[in-house]
Structure 1
Amino acid sequence: MTYILTDADKTATEKLNDEQRYNHFVNKVAEHEQLWILTDEHGCMMLTSDDDEDCIPVWPHADYAKAWAVDDWAQCKPEAITLKVWQSRWVSGMEEDELLVAVFPISDAAGVLVEPGELQEAFDHKKKTGRQN
């Protein structure tokens, strides 16, 4: 389920550092149970990190993904993935393909690179602790 993202929220979030955006991403995805990727006619967009690691970038809202899809990626469109589908299909598939997750990159920052299983553990932990609060 998508939440409403105001311009003020977007501006404030984009001022966060990589680690703060990572935490924001985990919180929003755990709460709304979906994340966003970019796709084109060939499938899911992938990129290569500065360390030559192949990764799939993800965002907590379609508007962040759209904002990132410029220049070479302008033909890409945001696509939602439910947290359930992410856990059941994407985590194991990315691990088998030795792909990392680029969490919440923005125009001037690459985001945090993590193993898919590590990101899933963060979602699981947030959902568990979020229910207790």
Structure 2
Amino acid sequence: MKITKKEIEATSKLEAAARYQYFIKKVADTEKMYSLVDEGGDWAIACFGEKTLFSVWSAPEFAEACAVSEWKGFSVREFNIDVFESDIFNEIDTHDHLINVFSVKGRSGFIVDYNEFARDLSDELSKNTE
């Protein structure tokens, strides 16, 4: 489902914690999330201090807007929750990455570890089944 320009602008103006909540709700509804990959299929990784961040967004439009600067030429990759848990989690865990949820215009998003991310998403998913 394509999002409107108005929604992109409004959501992008939110503080990182509010964008995180928006992301969790959207991903729980669609069971899809997005990241960026380079031509070789390597994920877009950011640095925050000494930590490495795996970046995710709730819609391809948000991810695409971040394909600039060091991520210029990267393309959007969609994946569902199952792929995230079975494949991408191993990458995050193996390399001790944190998750950068919903960065915008060169600003980092809400930075969270996998356990907190998984708990918050699981809690939101359970609301959808009630």
Question: TM-score of the superposition, structure 1-length normalised?
Answer: 0.91
Q: Distance in 2 between matches of 1:30 and 1:87?
A: 14
User: Could you tell me which residue of structure 2 aligns to residue 75 of structure 1?
Assistant: 73
Report the aligned-residue RMSD: 1.2
Q: How many residues align?
A: 129
Structure 1 gaps of 5+ residues are none
User: Could you tell me which residue of structure 2 aligns to residue 48 of structure 1?
Assistant: 47
User: Could you tell me which residue of structure 2 aligns to residue 4 of structure 1?
Assistant: 2
Check the 8 A contact 2:54/2:99 in 1, yes or no.
yes
Q: Distance in 2 between matches of 1:77 and 1:41?
A: 8
Q: Secondary structure of 1:129's partner? A: helix
Q: CA deviation at 1:74?
A: 1.3
Runs of 4+ off more than 6 Å: none
Structure 2 gaps of 5+ residues are none
Q: Secondary structure of 2:11's partner? A: helix
Q: Distance in 2 between matches of 1:112 and 1:55?
A: 11
Question: TM-score of the superposition, structure 2-length normalised?
Answer: 0.93
